[in-house]
């Protein structure tokens, strides 16, 4: 692992919860001993979206469009399944403008890791209400109290089909790092809701506020061991995710490795996908195309 | 020799199969075909029809009037009786059917047809009489009798043989041609694997043929190796040939047939360049949740080095605007096959048009290089699909390939050698491995930075303005240089791509027809017709709109007497693009926006009108 | 109620389940005695999207864009809360391309009724897999088995915040009509999943297939009577929605009228909204604007 | 009299407040202001600065160099020392700070600044020396001492008074002006309600003022009733004045400030036309889940008869393409306020540009009428916001109102009477009640069908091609007529809207400057400067791009010696639109794409270069 020529200056606000996520993600990648060239961070737009630029490991970064990171990430992963693809995005990014992709990605179960920077505000556009902000709340930059109900990201993810669904807290870096490691190791789409204080705009859900409430779940067995358990574990995970208020649970809400990944499903229709990485194929050799279409033409001969 | 033929019928009633079967038969008999399918945005019940040109020489367009119209329902007669000039085959049992009882005809159209029929009345008989008085041979067929006879012979219920009427209609028209009966019978048995259906249709066909006598004296012709393809397939084949490995789509007419074809041919045969071994390789085809995902997923895939594409049409393309901008900003080679249909909005989703040109040219906020090419016939569609990938990778930029519905759903027969692409080299542009201090966006004289694939080295992409490394940068001097570098690529492309490859010229005359896309075929065919009248015109067909071949077009159009712009749009968009770049204005316009393709007869007539009377603007309306 | 000049010809395929939905919807509107001028059907694009054109009552129809009906409908309703707004859309329309709006509309709880034509295929584009089609299934128009997991629309709707969530079946017109009536009467966003056979493209989930499986729930009390019950009723509704296979439940899965509507929430920030219909305001009178901005200007005087 | 002033500092460090306070003070003293804020896409820590022109007569642009630069951090000195011509105020305690220790400066910029400093060294001292040698008065201020003294006097911790440095910097620069101290003190006490802060800043300001002596001899001037507004507020006020009742938005820079303003003023005062009573009426403001929802929700609302709008910028506008097409197809009056920022893609999200013009003109697949207007200053922004609704309703079509970030976030002082809009009548177009056999899309000579509101009669809308009733229709003749009807509206608009309202002309000369949008101010101000050198040019400012004022522009530009296009884009889009319509080509280009507004000095210099040396293309780069 070599250092970058010069690390980018990190321009998040002092005390931003994003720093914790960055550290945990870096540590997880390091501890897993991943081939850094093959790690790709795909992010959306927002404060959170800048994370690939700030990472101090020489992985690759694709800082995409607001709400579209999951689409880009899916393309990267399916074209080259050898890559380790991690998606970072804000709550506005993933659950507001990106909600359609968020839901539909669950249906595919591509082997990627999705990390939600859940700060309940639109940070980079100056603190508007994000989809996870509770109704009636009025963080300091809102002219009036929020009139939308909050999305429950955990429930939404389980319902959408993510096969690993967990929650972390950005200032508990060690715990978060462990969960990120588990998520990366998980085969299938892993979703991580990370509670991320935004000291600049969210003066309600602060570090102090969280630290009075969060606890690590020990009483929930989230793992599906055989298909028959699926619905039960899903509904238990969903039910638990509604616990919010005096106590806020951290940990894994649902995990199921029995569901085939999208890569496996593609291979079931196109067996050659199992041992061919599309991105590694030499489609042109010395100016000559290597794909043969004679069969296709013959099919159409009159 | 040229013969035009039409069949119509309700969607879902088997008319597709019937038309294809007829086409195949003629193809086998050695004829060149150009056929188009018109249909409503509907699954079952609305009117659809095939218009087919059959010739001993390649033809690339449709006619306004048909020699033979074969029908078995009432609506087809009502919609098309006035378009027939030779033979009209119809269902005797429907003679008394009144137009206002045919519910699938839209009220506007009922009014119009009634006006057309005028004093003839409002029944099928009236329509037939109208035609007959214009010199058309009208041939009533007792389809019900045929069905009853077939059911009786095969000892099955009448409902089972309902669809024999399609093939009977085909057979009756086939009988007029004078070709060997066995050609048709072979086609029938090839088309219907199910023994009962094969028998039923064979018997029905024979019965129908007994109603008619040969009238056109056609002969079988020797056939080279020829394929029959539609535009969707031509594009798909071209993409596959070029090495496509990733295709995304969201269902939309008329684009999704391309993706469905690729999906069905997802494992392609490849040859290992080192060993010569052949093996199967996968094309990943993803049906996405929407077009936002489709374009961005393809872009993500392209970053890894695969040739990636998506295909859509107007509404979907509108949703791709932002993603295309990201690809432009991040210099991603991605191909967007843009099937143009009747617009704006949902428009006429199953009809054709050319009114999306300027949108394609200007899509996405801000300035970034983009290459826009447009195909004028099936062979061009095929080769442009290959070209598109070469351009995309060479200039590291999105390429938009325009194909109209009028080509996508039209089919034609093409000599296989025309599809030979061995002279087109695969061009992947500047590709490098990357390495330690790789700079994805290194400033370069020609604007093109060496590209490494994601996963081979570490690198950064962002839609924000960025520095050479790919990190966000707002510094003024970096912005100026990086922006110019991107735009420079278009200048490089403009310098490198021969202008003669971007404009096709046919004939020579002081009177120029300017067009692009599918009208090309109609113009070429009309030029032959005009030539017989001693009229010569020149066709200037625009093949690439960005970078625009300004110098060559200026040269071609300067000092011409007439510049006649022919287009399937209301405002004549190509003409205004030409004016924007060259300052030269079209002198006359031939425009059509009813969603139906331009016919060669319309071109022929319009050109005459313009040359004789200097008509400034001719508006076309052919096609039911 | 006067008849139209001439009803539009209905061009759905013979036997299409959409006919049942159309009839039930017409009957519900009639039986509720709604002022027809004030009924607005907003629909998406698809076979289902054509429904406003086919309705034989003189209501208004807004046939919008693929996936966007909910956005249009919300605009119509909020600008004129006196209108009765009913949204019809396909499963591709609402849960594929429209999933983002579907989820985020739940957060608003605008007083509208949303009817899903759930035929598991993209009808109008010739039968591709829709988001409710189960993985591994291959209706006749698919070249290969479906490789996406299905969305569970009921679970998704409850998780998103719809306050009335139910399922009907298109050929049980009477039952469907009753449920539509309840949905219309419900204060807040009502969502109705209607199982709709598509005899042309879906040869798996046919009339016969459904009629062997569907039953009307009688054992679930879906109504939230006091706020404390909310999570329990939501999770019960969600859990029940996973029942699918030999037996498929119809009826109401969740109902909660204790959640304020979006209209009420707007009024809490802008009290004049309570008794002012924006669409009825005379903003120009004889060429003169009726809105006064003197206060706004004075705020800015140096 | 004209004075230019600048302050800079890290985002989130209070520099905003300081700059506003300074502006207010000068405004109170009777001066006209034109100020602009430049900032990174960042919340805290990156460099931002205000550039302010202060004058006794209205000015509408920025300068390249400033008379006074006041600073309290290091980055501002490094970024701007070369732009100062009069006084540079800096923090003495930072003299030894080296450029490469200021982490917030981007590496590209560090290199550039280091090159600029050359042999002077790499510290603040070096930069100060550089300036001093160019004749700038440099004024070191011991901010740390001030802070310590303030903390001591108020008996609070040093950290509490950290922000006193902002006001101290303002006060020091204020001290140079020669204006009464009490003006500043009043501003301070108005700005800081908190007593401690008020005191701290008052004391700090006094201390800072003791460092300087008056150098500019400014006098208080008599003030009319004047407002100080930025572009976002001007647009919001115009919309509210016009009767806006429904606004949607999705947060995006620099558009959302408009919506936040409306949200904060959601209950507007209205007068009952019948009784004369005043009451509060609600504006529904919805923060949507994305821009797809934003545009379509506004369209839905517009159908009910409210004046509905949305506001966005490039990325959001890209997502609105499809919705705008539906509004065009369905003839819905909806206003889209389009704030243009640095593009393409995410681009430079907090910077300015004009490169979205052609996208706005061509947005959405297919052809439909759309009206596109562009404002050149704050008063135009205000009045155009009203005009936009009148146009939208009169022609029943989407109206796109272009405002650049360079106006949105710039503020100016305007005499209240300039905002008088009583001469603009409210025009709601053809509105009817509807009734039984109401046809929403009735064919009409002028293309405009009488519009009834949803809920008043029964009616149909569809994005498919439709008949007069609004039902889907694919019939060819209906298509031709309905399409032409829609497009006819643009011709009607072209005939009705005076061309002189669509183009503003200033001065007269054989040398024309062609521009649109915010460069207008810089050009007007530069014209005064040129006039002093005896150089006269004419300004042709395009105000409406669709329908394009072809005849008038042709007349204006024909036979001119020079047509100089000035634009914040790379390709000179307005010039190409002009050429597309008139065939007339700009002879020279002045282009800028670094995201910073064009200054009057740049215009002045470019025009000279062009008139003297016929420079074909001048590329501008001013602005840190
Ligand atoms: C299509 C589009 N719309 C709007 C924006 C403006 N935008 C930039 S960041 C942002 C919000 C970010 O909020 P969130 O996703 O929660 O991320 P955070 O900043 O809180 O990490 C928005 C709306 C954009 N870039 N693109
Ligand atoms: C943006 C966009 N993409 C694609 C289409 C094409 N399209 C028309 S109908 C349809 C699918 C309809 O399926 P569904 O929503 O399930 O409705 P159904 O026909 O089954 O009732 C699609 C994809 C479109 N009109 N607009
Ligand atoms: S605004 Fe909030 S989320 Fe963004 S960097 Fe600052 S603290 Fe972090
Ligand atoms: S395709 Fe299916 S959903 Fe569409 S009309 Fe036919 S049966 Fe109904
Ligand atoms: Mg956020
Ligand atoms: Mg469907």
- The 10s digit of each residue's pLDDT in D38-53 is 999 999 999 999 999 9
Most ligand 4 atoms within 8 A of CB, residue of C46, C47, C130 to mutate: C47
- What does the block give as tokens for A65? 């469009």
Task: Please state whether the predicted TM-score (pTM) of the whole model is above 0.80.
Answer: yes
| Residue A209, number of CB atoms within 10 A of its CB | 15
pLDDT-derived band at D521 (thresholds 50, 70, 90) equals: very high
CA of D206 to the centre of ligand 2 (A): 69
**Which of B44, B103, B253 is nearest residue C200 as measured by Cβ atoms?**
B44
**Which of D356, D367, D474 is nearest residue B366 as measured by Cβ atoms?**
D356
- The 10s digit of each residue's pLDDT in C187-238 is 999 999 999 999 999 999 999 999 999 999 999 999 999 999 999 999 999 9
Please compute the mean of the pLDDT values over residues B125-150 and round it to a whole number: 97
**What is the predicted pLDDT for the residue at C2?**
42
Q: Give the 3-state secondary structure of residue C91.
A: helix
* C63 contacts D304? CB cut-off 8 A: no
DSSP state of C173: H
* D454 contacts C295? CB cut-off 8 A: no
How would you class B198 by CB atoms within 10 Å of its CB: exposed for 0-12, middle for 13-18, buried for 19 or more?
Answer: middle
Please compute the mean of the pLDDT values over residues D260-282 and round it to a whole number: 94
* A142 close contact with D: CB closer than 8 A: no
Chain C residues with CB under 8 Å of D245 CB are 79, 278-279, 281, 283
Q: Are B297 and A75 in contact (CB under 8 A)?
A: yes
Name the residue with the closest Cα to ligand 3, atom 6: A13
- Chain C residue with the nearest C-alpha to that of B260: C143
- The 10s digit of each residue's pLDDT in B531-555 is 999 999 999 999 999 999 999 999 9
C and D: number of Cβ contacts within 8 A: 244
**What is the predicted pLDDT for the residue at C5?**
53
CA gap D519, D515 in Å, rounded: 7
- The 10s digit of each residue's pLDDT in B426-481 is 999 999 999 989 999 999 999 999 999 999 999 999 999 999 999 999 999 999 99
CA of A40 to the centre of ligand 5 (A): 22
pLDDT-derived band at D436 (thresholds 50, 70, 90) equals: confident
Q: Give the 3-state secondary structure of residue A258.
A: coil
Task: Looking at the complex, report in whole angstroms how far the Cα of residue B261 sits from the nearest Cα belonging to chain C.
Answer: 9
* A271 close contact with C: CB closer than 8 A: no
- For all residues of chain B together, what is the average pLDDT? 97
**Is the shortest distance between the CB of A141 and ligand 3 below 6 Å?**
no
**Which of C62, C74, C297 is nearest residue D461 as measured by Cβ atoms?**
C62
- The 10s digit of each residue's pLDDT in B565-602 is 999 999 999 999 999 999 999 999 999 999 999 999 99
- The 10s digit of each residue's pLDDT in B330-384 is 999 999 999 999 999 999 999 999 999 999 999 999 999 999 999 999 999 999 9
Pairing relationship of beta strands B371-374 and B544-546 according to DSSP bridges: antiparallel
Q: Which residues have CB under 8 Å from B452's CB, separation 6+? A: B431, B432, B433, B434, B435, B438, B440, B459
CA gap B495, B446 in Å, rounded: 10
- Chain D residue with the nearest C-alpha to that of A129: D287
Which ligand is nearest to the Cα of residue D312, counting in written order? 1
Name the residue with the closest Cα to ligand 1, atom 24: A66
CA gap B570, B591 in Å, rounded: 6
CA–centroid distance for B87 within its chain:
28
Q: Which atom of ligand 1 is nearest to the CA of A198?
A: 20
Q: What is the residue whose two structure tokens read 């009913």?
A: C86
**Which of A53, A76, A285 is nearest residue B273 as measured by Cβ atoms?**
A285
* A131 contacts D289? CB cut-off 8 A: yes
At the topology level of CATH, where does C18-261 sit? Answer: Rossmann fold (3.40.50)
Task: Looking at the complex, report in whole angstroms how far the Cα of residue A97 sits from the nearest Cα belonging to chain D.
Answer: 5
In this model, does residue C262 exceed pLDDT 60? yes
Q: Give the 3-state secondary structure of residue C216.
A: strand
- The 10s digit of each residue's pLDDT in A254-290 is 999 999 999 999 999 999 999 999 999 999 999 999 9
Q: Which residues have CB under 8 Å from A36's CB, separation 6+? A: A1, A29, A57, A58, A59, B458
**Which of B41, B44, B291 is nearest residue C13 as measured by Cβ atoms?**
B44
CA gap A276, C169 in Å, rounded: 45
Q: Is the reported ipTM for this assembly greater than 0.85?
A: yes
* D159 close contact with A: CB closer than 8 A: no
* A129 contacts D287? CB cut-off 8 A: yes
Chains touching chain C, criterion 3+ CB pairs below 8 Å: A, B, D
Which ligand is nearest to the Cα of residue A126, counting in written order? 3
Q: What is the residue whose two structure tokens read 């008599």?
A: D222
Q: Which of C12, C128, C156, C201 to mutate to test the interface with B (most CBs of B within 10 A)?
A: C128
- The 10s digit of each residue's pLDDT in B151-164 is 999 999 999 998 99
Phi, psi of D133, deg, nearest 5: -65, -20
**What is the predicted pLDDT for the residue at A2?**
42
- The 10s digit of each residue's pLDDT in D11-35 is 999 999 999 999 999 999 999 999 9
**Is the shortest distance between the CB of B610 and ligand 2 below 6 Å?**
no
**What is the predicted pLDDT for the residue at A5?**
53
Q: Are C252 and C191 in contact (CB under 8 A)?
A: no
**What domains appear along chain B, each with residue ranges and CATH number?**
2-209 (3.40.920.10), 229-419 (3.40.50.970), 430-497 (no CATH), 500-619 (3.40.50.920)
Most ligand 3 atoms within 8 A of CB, residue of A18, A49, A126, A195 to mutate: A18
**What is the predicted pLDDT for the residue at D218?**
95
Express the helix, strand and coil content of chain A in percent, nearest 5 each.
40, 20, 45
* A82 contacts B28? CB cut-off 8 A: no
* B44 close contact with C: CB closer than 8 A: yes
Q: Which atom of ligand 4 is nearest to the CA of C12?
A: 5
Chains touching chain D, criterion 3+ CB pairs below 8 Å: A, B, C
Q: Are D300 and C73 in contact (CB under 8 A)?
A: yes
| Residue B431, number of CB atoms within 10 A of its CB | 14
Sheet holding C190-195, edge to edge: C214-216, C248-255, C164-169, C190-195, C113-118, C84-90, C39-43, C60-63, D460-462
Q: Where are the alpha helices (DSSP H) in A138-206?
A: 153-160, 173-185
**What is the predicted pLDDT for the residue at A4?**
45
**What is the predicted pLDDT for the residue at C7?**
80
In this model, does residue D545 exceed pLDDT 50? yes
**Is the shortest distance between the CB of A241 and ligand 3 below 6 Å?**
no
Please compute the mean of the pLDDT values over residues B190-207 and round it to a whole number: 94
| Alpha-carbon dihedral sign for residues C224, C230, C232, C238 | positive
CA–centroid distance for A134 within its chain:
22
CA of D314 to the centre of ligand 1 (A): 13
* A144 contacts D44? CB cut-off 8 A: no
CA gap C99, C86 in Å, rounded: 18
* Angle (deg, nearest 10), helices A262-269 and A69-79: 50
Instruction: Cite the residue boundaries of each domain of chain A with CATH code 3.40.50.970.
Output: 18-261
**What is the predicted pLDDT for the residue at A3?**
42
Phi, psi of D424, deg, nearest 5: -95, 110
Task: Looking at the complex, report in whole angstroms how far the Cα of residue D552 sits from the nearest Cα belonging to chain C.
Answer: 29
Scan residues 81-110 of C and list those with Cβ closer than 8 Å to D.
82-83, 100-101, 103-104
**What is the predicted pLDDT for the residue at C3?**
42
Please tell me the number of Cα atoms within 13 Å of D30 on its side-chain side.
Answer: 11
């Amino acid at each position: 692992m070599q250092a970058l020529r010069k690390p980018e200056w990190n321009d998040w606000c002092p005390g931003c919860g994003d720093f914790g996520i960055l550290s945990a993600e870096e540590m997880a990648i390091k501890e897993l001993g991943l081939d850094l060239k093959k790690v790709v961070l795909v992010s959306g737009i927002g404060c959170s979206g800048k994370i690939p630029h700030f990472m101090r490991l020489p992985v690759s970064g694709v800082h995409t469009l607001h709400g579209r990171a999951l689409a880009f990430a899916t393309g990267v992963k399916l074209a080259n399944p050898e890559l380790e693809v991690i998606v970072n995005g804000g709550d506005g990014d993933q659950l507001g403008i990106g909600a359609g992709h968020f839901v539909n990605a669950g249906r595919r179960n591509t082997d990627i890791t999705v990390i939600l920077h859940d700060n309940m505000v639109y940070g980079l556009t100056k603190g508007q209400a994000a989809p996870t902000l509770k109704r009636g709340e009025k963080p300091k930059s809102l002219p009036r109290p929020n009139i939308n109900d909050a999305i429950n990201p955990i429930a939404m993810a389980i319902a959408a089909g993510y096969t690993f669904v967990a929650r972390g807290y950005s200032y508990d870096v060690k715990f978060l790092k462990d969960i990120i490691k588990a998520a990366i190791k998980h085969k299938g789409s892993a979703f991580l809701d990370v509670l991320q204080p935004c000291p600049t705009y969210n003066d309600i859900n602060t570090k102090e506020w969280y630290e009075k409430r969060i606890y690590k779940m020990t009483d929930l067995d989230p793992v599906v061991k055989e298909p028959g358990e699926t619905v039960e574990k899903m509904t238990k995970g969903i039910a638990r995710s509604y616990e919010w208020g005096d106590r806020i649970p951290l940990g894994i809400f649902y995990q199921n490795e029995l569901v085939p990944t999208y890569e496996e499903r593609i291979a079931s229709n196109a067996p050659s996908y199992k041992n061919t990485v599309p991105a590694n194929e030499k489609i042109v050799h010395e100016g000559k195309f290597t794909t043969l279409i004679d069969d296709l033409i013959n099919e159409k001969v009159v | 020799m040229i013969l035009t033929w039409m069949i119509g019928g309700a969607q879902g009633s088997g008319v597709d199969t019937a038309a294809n079967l007829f086409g195949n038969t003629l193809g086998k008999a050695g004829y060149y075909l150009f056929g188009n399918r018109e249909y409503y945005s509907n699954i079952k019940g609305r009117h659809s029809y095939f218009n087919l040109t059959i010739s001993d020489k390649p033809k690339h367009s449709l006619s306004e009037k048909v020699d033979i119209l074969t029908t078995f329902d009432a609506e087809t007669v009502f919609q098309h009786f006035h378009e027939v000039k030779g033979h009209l085959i119809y269902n005797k049992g429907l003679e008394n059917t009144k137009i206002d009882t045919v519910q699938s005809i839209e009220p506007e159209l009922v009014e119009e047809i009634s006006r057309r029929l005028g004093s003839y009345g409002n029944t099928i008989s009236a329509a037939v009489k109208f035609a007959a008085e214009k010199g058309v041979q009208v041939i009533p067929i007792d389809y019900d009798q045929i069905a009853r006879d077939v059911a009786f012979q095969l000892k099955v219920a009448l409902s089972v043989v309902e669809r024999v009427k399609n093939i009977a209609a085909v057979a009756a028209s086939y009988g007029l041609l004078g070709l060997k009966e066995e050609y048709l019978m072979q086609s029938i048995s090839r088309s219907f694997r199910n023994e009962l259906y094969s028998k039923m249709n064979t018997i029905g066909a024979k019965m129908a043929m007994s109603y008619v006598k040969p009238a056109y004296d056609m002969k079988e012709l020797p056939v080279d190796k020829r394929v029959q393809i539609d535009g969707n397939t031509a594009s798909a084949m071209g993409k596959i040939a070029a090495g496509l490995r990733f295709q995304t789509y969201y269902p939309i007419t008329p684009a999704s047939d391309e993706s469905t074809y690729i999906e069905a041919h997802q494992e392609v045969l490849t040859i290992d360049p080192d060993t010569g071994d052949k093996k199967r390789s996968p094309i990943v085809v993803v049906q996405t949740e929407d077009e936002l995902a489709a374009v961005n997923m393809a872009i993500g895939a392209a970053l890894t080095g695969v040739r990636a594409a998506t295909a859509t049409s107007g509404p979907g393309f509108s949703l791709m605007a932002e993603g295309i901008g990201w690809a432009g900003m991040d210099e991603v080679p991605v191909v967007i096959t843009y099937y143009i249909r009747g617009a704006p909005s949902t428009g006429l989703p199953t009809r054709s048009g050319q009114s999306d040109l300027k949108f394609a040219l200007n899509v996405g906020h801000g300035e970034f290089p983009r290459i826009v090419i447009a195909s004028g016939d099936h062979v061009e569609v095929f080769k442009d699909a290959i070209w598109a990938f070469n351009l995309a990778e060479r200039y590291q930029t999105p390429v938009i390939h325009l194909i109209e519905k009028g080509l996508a759903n039209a089919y034609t027969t093409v000599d296989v050698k025309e599809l030979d692409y061995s002279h087109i080299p695969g061009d992947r542009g500047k590709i490098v491995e990357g390495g330690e201090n790789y700079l994805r966006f290194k400033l370069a004289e020609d604007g093109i930075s060496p590209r490494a694939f994601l996963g081979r080295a570490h690198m950064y992409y962002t839609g924000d303005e960025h520095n050479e490394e790919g990190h966000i940068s707002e510094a003024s001097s970096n912005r100026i240089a990086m922006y110019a570098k991107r735009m420079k690529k278009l200048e490089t492309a403009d310098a490198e791509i021969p202008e003669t490859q971007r404009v096709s010229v046919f004939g020579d005359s002081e009177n120029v027809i300017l067009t692009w896309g599918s009208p090309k075929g109609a113009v070429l065919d009309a030029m032959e017709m005009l030539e017989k009248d001693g009229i010569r015109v020149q066709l200037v067909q625009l093949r690439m709109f960005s970078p625009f071949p300004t110098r060559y077009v200026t040269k071609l159009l300067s000092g011409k007497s007439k510049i006649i712009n022919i287009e399937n749009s209301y405002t004549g968009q190509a003409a205004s693009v030409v004016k924007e770049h060259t300052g030269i204005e079209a002198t006359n316009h031939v425009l059509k926006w009813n969603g139906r393709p331009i016919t060669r007869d319309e071109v022929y007539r319009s050109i005459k009108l313009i040359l004789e009377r200097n008509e400034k603007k001719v508006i076309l309306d052919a096609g039911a």
